[in-house]
Structure 1
Amino acid sequence: MTLLERYILKIAFTAFAACLIALTGVIWITQALRELDLLTGKGQTLFIFLTVTGLSLPALISVISPVALFLATIYALNKLNGDSELIVMSAAGMRPLKLLRPFLVLAAFVCFIVGMITIYIMPASFQELRNLFTKIRADFVATMAKEGQFITLENGITFHYRERSGEALLGIFMEDQRVKDKVVVYLAERGQTVEANGQAYLVLEKGSVQRKEPNSRDSSIVAFERYAVDLAAFNQDGGDIIYKPRERGTIQLLFPDKTELLYQYQEGRFRAELHDRLSSWLYPLAMMVIAFAALGDARTTRQGRGLAIASAVLGVVVLRIAGFAASSAVVRTPVAVIGVYGVPILAVTISLMLILQGSSIRTIRAKARVLGRALIPSRNSQTQKA
């Protein structure tokens, strides 16, 4: 790589890093504000809060990186043109493909980072996030319940205790409405959370369990001296965590268990998630080439670049809309997989054709100017002889 190419790469990389850090920071703050309930409402520690918000960073970076590269390309080309450096390079005979080379190097780096994040890091972060939230919800007695207050979880569990005596809870009321036709009510004089073999249990003492019979007004009441409730069972049937397609590793999506009920019910989502991951690395390259095709030509200060920037932004918007449409279509039909890869590849092809076409036009114009200068002296000499 020549000194000039390293200079261009330095400008583009600095702009990319600045855009990536700024955009990621702003969006991360908005995500962190949404999770403040972990500290205020659910009584979690600052470490848990930072862990939850930090696990969302890989997904943010994978989405923001192509946009940051697009903005960095626009900034670098505008800066080179504004300082008349792009005009000098063009006048010195620097070909557009040579000018494109440092941007391709940066795009290759971003494509590699995005590919690694979407294929390996992001699924692991989503899976860890699901495990953490499951653990928080399972231990809702210790983390969410407050003395004298009724709390209602999203899955239909209502919990209340009158007061706390040391580590014991007094006057416990718990209602399980996960199954609407089969409501279960637990009443106990006292209880205490116990952890055994990695599972959280609520051990109730001197109370009763009231179960309402399905499709009936009758209910049964069973008194007990000691009764253990598995808190993890309030989150998943059977206590097992069922991961969504985006929370599964890429190998699991490549070789899924076709006998699994979730896969049979959401086969299209498994397919769409897999091909979205495998095609994600193409979008940074496509966005960079679109920006270069729109702004790679040298322009004088009298020639505005606003229209070129607007066309580049419009091209990226169309690219993303077409990509989302192809991804949605994959859920319904496997044939749409062609569109998932075809959309970014088509954008790269069209942009490169525009770049090469512009280069050919400039070459023809340059030859015409040289030919014109050669003909002018000969005409002048003929005029003088006449």
Structure 2
Amino acid sequence: MSRFDGYVLRQLLVLFGFFLLVLVGVLWISRSVSLFDRLISGGQSAMVFLEFTALSLPTLIRTVMPMAAFGAAVYATNRLSRDSELTVMLATGSSPLRLARPMLYFGVVTALMMAVLTTYLRPASIQQLGLREAEVTRDLTAQLLNEGSFMHPTSGVTFYIGKIDPDGTLHDVFLSDRRDQLRPITYTAARAFLVSTDDQLSLVMVQGMAMRYNSKLKSLSTTLFADFSYDITSLASARSGGKRNLRGVPTTELFSRSGRAALLATGNYDTGEITEELHERLAWIVIVITVPLVGYAAMMMGGFSRFGLWPQALTAFAILLLLEGLRGLATSVVLNHPQLWWLLYLPAGIGLTFSALMLRGSGRPLRLYLHSTRHTRRNA
């Protein structure tokens, strides 16, 4: 690696880190607001929120990494052009293709980061996040012990507590169960207690009333009780469970024939979903090599201007949008036709082709200008 390549590569890595930090921060703030409200209102602690945030970071980083690499390549090329460093290198005989070498090194470095992220860290974090979400869902005690607000532990159930004493006594309890639409029932109680056994969680209500409505007969029956026990274990079982998240399946399992066969045997996934997930992880590795070269090649098109390279930057961004659209289209095709898995790598191939064509045509205005200048000096 030459001194110039190392100089450009250091700039690219610094800019990449900056853009990655900014983009992850913006995306994290937009997503964490709803997550914070959902967890805290459900009675969870701030540590649970931080744990969930940390487990979601690999997915956020993978999402914005291509954009950060693209932004670093475009910004670094624009700064090198503005400082006339690219002009000097081209004037000494270096071709735009030769100057693209640090961009290729940068793409390889980001591809290695993406390989670790998309094949190991992200599936592991999604798998752990699913386990923690199931644990939080089953923790009904933490969800229900939230005074002064209406809570919905599951669909069709509303729970309210007016006040909670330090000893755990609940006051002014309201419980509405509308899971049976024909016969909804509502409980109110002056006091209540949560009683947990080995595998059962019960709400013991004292001095209350039960109101059951019969929609067929259009009648409302009311029952007063001194104490009544209501099993709420079913609320946890209704919300827990579900099929395994394919995004959290280890990459080695997707690669192995036995692993794919086991996933198909569950009946939760088809061949298209498994094939798309496997090759999408690998396609993300290739795309982060392509986007810096696309940004650099587009910025090298045309002549140099003191007004900057904004037209070239817009061209590079348009190509990036085109590649992203092709990736979305390829994903939908592979889901229905898994034998066309190679389409997921087609956007990266198209991006590399665009880069080669643009680099072949770039730098010519400067070379023509230098040639005409030398010719004029000879004649003089």
Short-chain TM bin: 0.7 to 0.9
Q: Deviations over 1:125-177 (max 9, x none)?
A: 22222222222222233234434654223533333456545235467665555
Letter of the aligned partner of 1:261 in structure 2? Answer: G
**Once the 2 structures are TM-superposed, how far is the Cα of residue 287 of structure 1 from its aligned partner?**
1.0
Q: Provide the C-alpha distance between the structure 2 equivalents of 1:303 and 1:30, rounded to a whole number of angstroms.
A: 35
**Does 2:266 correspond to 1:260?**
yes
2:153 aligns with 153
**Does 2:245 correspond to 1:244?**
yes
2:344 aligns with 340
CA contact (8 A) 1:200 1:232 kept: no
Q: Provide the C-alpha distance between the structure 1 equivalents of 2:342 and 2:316, rounded to a whole number of angstroms.
A: 24
**Once the 2 structures are TM-superposed, how far is the Cα of residue 279 of structure 1 from its aligned partner?**
0.9
1:300 aligns with 304
Q: 1:303 to 1:158 in 2, by over 3 A?
A: closer
Q: Provide the C-alpha distance between the structure 1 equivalents of 2:337 and 2:3, rounded to a whole number of angstroms.
A: 50
Describe how 1:58-77 pairs up with structure 2 within 5 A: 58-77=58-77
Query: SS at 2:294's partner residue?
Result: helix
Q: 1:244 to 1:200 in 2, by over 3 A?
A: farther
Give TM-score, length-normalised by structure 1: 0.79
2:3 aligns with 3
**Once the 2 structures are TM-superposed, how far is the Cα of residue 210 of structure 1 from its aligned partner?**
11
Describe how 1:211-222 pairs up with structure 2 within 5 A: none
CA contact (8 A) 1:31 1:53 kept: no
Q: Deviations over 1:75-116 (max 9, x none)?
A: 111111111110110011113233111111111111111222
Q: Provide the C-alpha distance between the structure 1 equivalents of 2:35 and 2:307, rounded to a whole number of angstroms.
A: 48
**Does 2:57 correspond to 1:51?**
no
1:330 aligns with 334
1:167 aligns with 168
CA contact (8 A) 1:203 1:226 kept: yes
Q: Deviations over 1:16-39 (max 9, x none)?
A: 111111111122122222223146
| Percent of matched pairs sharing the same residue | 26
CA contact (8 A) 2:43 2:146 kept: no
Describe how 1:14-93 pairs up with structure 2 within 5 A: 14-38=14-38, 40-93=40-93
Q: Provide the C-alpha distance between the structure 1 equivalents of 2:228 and 2:134, rounded to a whole number of angstroms.
A: 29
Equivalent residue in structure 1 for 2:357, among 353, 359, 377: 353
Q: Provide the C-alpha distance between the structure 2 equivalents of 1:200 and 1:126, rounded to a whole number of angstroms.
A: 29
Query: SS at 2:268's partner residue?
Result: helix
1:102 aligns with 102
CA contact (8 A) 1:69 1:288 kept: yes
Q: Figure out how many residues of one structure are paired with residues of the other and give that number.
A: 368
Query: SS at 2:202's partner residue?
Result: strand
CA contact (8 A) 2:42 2:146 kept: no
Letter of the aligned partner of 1:260 in structure 2? Answer: T
Give TM-score, length-normalised by structure 2: 0.80
1:119 aligns with 119
CA contact (8 A) 2:58 2:121 kept: yes
Q: Provide the C-alpha distance between the structure 2 equivalents of 1:43 and 1:148, rounded to a whole number of angstroms.
A: 12
**Once the 2 structures are TM-superposed, how far is the Cα of residue 301 of structure 1 from its aligned partner?**
3.3
Q: Provide the C-alpha distance between the structure 2 equivalents of 1:146 and 1:217, rounded to a whole number of angstroms.
A: 34
CA contact (8 A) 1:24 1:60 kept: yes
CA contact (8 A) 2:302 2:365 kept: no
User: 119-128 vs 322-331, which deviates more?
Assistant: 119-128
User: 329-338 vs 111-120, which deviates more?
Assistant: 329-338
**Once the 2 structures are TM-superposed, how far is the Cα of residue 329 of structure 1 from its aligned partner?**
1.9
Q: Deviations over 1:8-61 (max 9, x none)?
A: 111111111111111111221222222231465223211111112222211111
User: 59-68 vs 347-356, which deviates more?
Assistant: 347-356
1:194 aligns with 196
Letter of the aligned partner of 1:258 in structure 2? Answer: L
Q: Deviations over 1:315-338 (max 9, x none)?
A: 000000110111122222224422
CA contact (8 A) 1:87 1:299 kept: no
CA contact (8 A) 1:138 1:234 kept: no
2:295 aligns with 291
Runs of at least 5 residues in structure 1 that lack an aligned partner in the other structure: 381-386
Q: Provide the C-alpha distance between the structure 2 equivalents of 1:330 and 1:179, rounded to a whole number of angstroms.
A: 41
